[in-house]
Amino acid sequence: MQHVKDILAHKSNQVWSVTPDTTVFDALKKMSDKSIGSLLVMEGEKLVGLFSERDYARKVVLHDKSSRTMPVTEIMTRRILCVSPERSVEECMALMTDQRVRHLPVIENKQVVGVVSIGDLVKAIMHDQQILIDQLQQYITG
């Protein structure tokens, strides 16, 4: 069974973030440049929010607001679900499914040490399943 720390060990431990006063437009540009769907919103070392493509779609586009002037702090998600590196992939998947979120910041000793996405979890689960399939095939074929 894989854990969050195993996922982080296989991806860059770079955490992409913006400050609360960053405009939505600049945040979207950063997401596009980095090919990611979320940004942590940080005040210094403190995690204060999470800004996602979904926040933009639902809170800006649908309300006909301007991304060029609006700061992310106005629409970021403030109730952030975080996990520790010791959490299992299955526990994180259950949390994401129950709470309908796609990204979980990873916190260790009160510091942000990474981010895991639903895609990261799917990839880890598929990897484990492939190993199991290979072992079963070997067992069957001798």
Ligand X SMILES: NC(=O)c1ccc[n+]([C@@H]2O[C@H](COP(=O)([O-])OP(=O)(O)OC[C@H]3O[C@@H](n4cnc5c(N)ncnc54)[C@H](O)[C@@H]3O)[C@@H](O)[C@H]2O)c1
What is the contact surface with ligand X in residues (CB under 6 A)? 11, 14-16, 36-40, 102-103, 115-120, 122-123
Distance of CA 124 to the CA centre of its chain: 14
Please report where in the chains the tokens 């598929």 appear, as a residue. Answer: 126
Please report where in the chains the tokens 């403030």 appear, as a residue. Answer: 78
Rounded Cα distance between 1 and 48, Å, is 31
Nearer to ligand X, 38 or 73 (CB): 38
Smallest separation (angstroms) from ligand X to the CB of 2: 13
The conformation of residue 74, written as its DSSP 8-state character, comes to G
Nearer to ligand X, 65 or 123 (CB): 123
Smallest separation (angstroms) from ligand X to the CB of 35: 6
Closest residue to ligand X, based on beta-carbon distance: 119
Q: What are phi and psi of 122, to 5 degrees?
A: -60, -45
Smallest separation (angstroms) from ligand X to the CB of 84: 16
Please report where in the chains the tokens 């919103």 appear, as a residue. Answer: 41
Nearer to ligand X, 63 or 100 (CB): 100
